A and B are shown apart, each in its own frame.
Chain A
Amino acid sequence: MEPLLKVTGLQKHFPIRKGLLQRQTGAVKAVDGLDFEVYPGETLGVVGESGCGKSTMGRLITRLLEPTGGKIEFQGTDISHLGVAGMRPLRRDVQMIFQDPYGSLNPRHTVGSIVSAPFKLQGVEPEGGVKKEVQRLLGLVGLNPEHYNRYPHEFSGGQRQRIGIARALALKPKLVVADEPVSALDVSIQAQVVNLLDDLQDELGLTYVFIAHDLSVVRHVSDRIAVMYLGKIVELADRKSLYESPMHPYTKALMSAVPVPDPRRRGAKSERILLQGDVPSPIAPPPGCRFHTRCWKATDLCRTQEPPLLELRPGQRVACHHPENAEGVTVPEARQSVDVTITKKPEPAEPEATEPEPEAEATADAKAEAEVKKDDAPGE
């Protein structure tokens, strides 16, 4: 099947400028070489910690940001460096749902004018008139169509998010990038909105890129999941493989942090991995494997040689020299590269001694969860 969206080597570096002359002294490597594709009709979940570049990735593929390097192809067209005018016709097919339901709706516009903005901007005259179509959309997302003339402040967070969804769906897009669409909502409302997105996908044949940090939400909606760490994809696999036999140590650590809602099953989940230290700065990411500073399996190889993202099992791509759950799987290129790079001086940056810590539930659970579920809003 032809991919709807194909991303190769995607990079976004935000320059850091200093001094009177605004000389560039460095760059925040928010996204540093992503390769993935999205197929029609599927949902690609993207997870990762705060500041790993998930949201930047979303803004790159909707071209709200211009990539520093790499290529974005939408239906075979290279859109990586199109300008405002060049992108305009494509905007119909690629839409975005935003994280903050309070920030994504202009408080000075009525719901009607917010949801009809896509028609105005794209010069589309829907059948039966704009107003009728807007009211149909409001009905579609579960709002009262009569609320056409209301202002955003008159709605609750969940209702506002529905307005944002109606706006994103107005032009019948093919690809919808949802940037943490439920993380700002109440848990009870989260389920409603996630289910709404699910239903709309079936109804309208949508393709989603679903960015989130909540692993259970991602598990619920995604067909395939990409795990990001420090601007890179460390593992990309279908939902089942990823949740049942994660291969990258980082994925494994993330999975072990998912809280088990059933107290009777808590004991069954024996191994909890508590990652030590902080995420390194994306201004100066560690050499070699970016995860080596926090990985309990790190070797000299990891400190010098960056592992490529390889398909180690059918449908499961992993960037790791020493994958987990890898019985019967060989990592050919990594083995070869040992001889080449072992002569290099190992990086002095000391990795913290991190070993898997099967720890007492309460503290480990809380800590790990805090690590993973920290709210993030990069670039805001």
Chain B
Amino acid sequence: MTAPLHETSAGEATATVDGAPDAPGTPDKSGSGGKAIEGRSPWKIAWTRLKRDKLALAGAFVVIFLILVAIFAPVIVGLLGHPPDEFHEDQIDPLFGTPIGSWGGINGDFLLGVEPVNGRDVFSRIVYGARISLLVAFLAAVFAVFLGTILGIIAGYFGGWIDAALSRVMDVMLAFPQLLFTIALVSVLPNELLGLDGSGVRIAALVLVIGFFGWPYVGRIVRGQTLSLRNREYVEAAQSLGAGRFYILRRELLPNLIAPITVYATLMIPTNILTEAALSFLGAGVKPPTASWGQMLSTAITTYESDPLFMVIPGLAIFITVLAFNLFGDGVRDALDPKGSR
């Protein structure tokens, strides 16, 4: 890509940014010497900034860890736990229905104890629950971002009655009682649909509902950004070169929208995790015996006096996941801050 430049690299690099007050503050990078002149893209700058943000990095590590756990759930459970649906009545005190032993039955065999009454392995269920939480949250975010970006960019770029109509639709969506709608919808869902089994239908429904109610948030942000971007002079410059509308949308506007969209998508995932947990808690989530964190919380309500740890563990799982995603998302937002990256 780049033509090699021999002796000037470091000196040139500093010479060209002279007087540019917004020259980003990583001089150690530009002076790497002897290499070809390669511009640092806004993404690279954001990455160097993100790397300096310790909290965001911690969040990112937890997020990556959770994703790996979700992906390799069968392997992890195979090594360290028992199948999530297996009953272990031998771990249960037959008189009270509570786990034998202190701390909810935690021992070397059952790392996070067992469920009261039927004695399923809590560790396995937490690990499998991560799958549901993350899958639903990710897919819903992708769906919301997809819809929101397309409709937002159309509203912002074309304006006029299209904008007015789409904006009103967004307002209506935002005012819609999402939780009640979902509970009502799930109760009428069939057990099988389009080749999906009961859990599959529920997961698909959760993704669609959460994503569908999430897009107006993305749509509003994208619309606002598009409104401000479409009047930039570089858009006019492209027009004066004969660019059509599609070229301008794709080549001039979209690259500038990716940063805010990324930020919003990362911050949307924890919200989706919470929504999924809430819906599962209310019985509108995945069907038992498939494990999910919200559903475990809901089961724990009946026994929290005798076995409080069974409620604490899924709660902690939700808390840590949401916190990690939020820290990471905040870091991404700071790194992509438009004021610093222009």
Residues of A at the B interface (CB closer than 8 Å) are: 59, 62, 64, 84-85, 87-88, 91-92, 94-96, 98-100, 102-111, 117-118, 121-122, 144, 146-151, 153-157, 159, 164, 167, 171, 379-380
Contacts and interface: CB of A to CB of B under 8 A. Distances in A.
Given A88-B242, A153-B42, A154-B39, A121 B237 contact: no
Given A91-B241, A107-B342, A150-B37, A121 B247 contact: yes
Interface stretch (B19-27, B89-97, B140-148): B19-27
A84 B244 contact: yes
A121 B233 contact: no
Nearest to A111: B39
Given A87-B242, A105-B234, A107-B342, A147 B37 contact: yes
Of B19, B233, B236, B342, chain A has the most CB atoms within 10 Å of the CB of: B233
Given A106-B255, A154-B23, A155-B16, A164 B42 contact: no
Given A95-B240, A153-B42, A154-B40, A104 B234 contact: yes
A106 B252 contact: yes
Contact of B256 (A96, A98, A106, A147): A106
B48 interface: no
A94 B241 CA distance: 9
Contacts of A118: 241
B187 interface: no
Contact of A117 (B2, B5, B12, B238): B238
Interface in B234-286: 234, 236-245, 247, 252, 255-256
B16 A122 contact: no
A59 B20 CA distance: 29
Nearest to A380: B231
B20 A156 contact: yes
A103 B233 contact: yes
Of A64, A110, A117, A122, chain B has the most CB atoms within 10 Å of the CB of: A117
Contacts of A149: 1-2, 37-39
Contacts of A87: 242
11 contacts: A95-B241, A96-B237, A96-B240, A107-B341, A108-B41, A108-B256, A111-B39, A118-B241, A121-B241, A149-B38, A153-B42
B236 A144 contact: no
B297 to A, nearest CB: 44
B88 to A, nearest CB: 56
A47 B36 CA distance: 44
Contacts of A102: 342
B12 A144 contact: yes
A109 B5 CA distance: 22
Nearest to A179: B233
Contacts of A99: 233
Contacts of A104: 232-234, 236-237
Nearest to A117: B241
Nearest to B232: A103
Contacts of A147: 16, 37, 39
Nearest to B164: A22
Interface string B198-218: 000000000000000000000
A374 B18 CA distance: 28
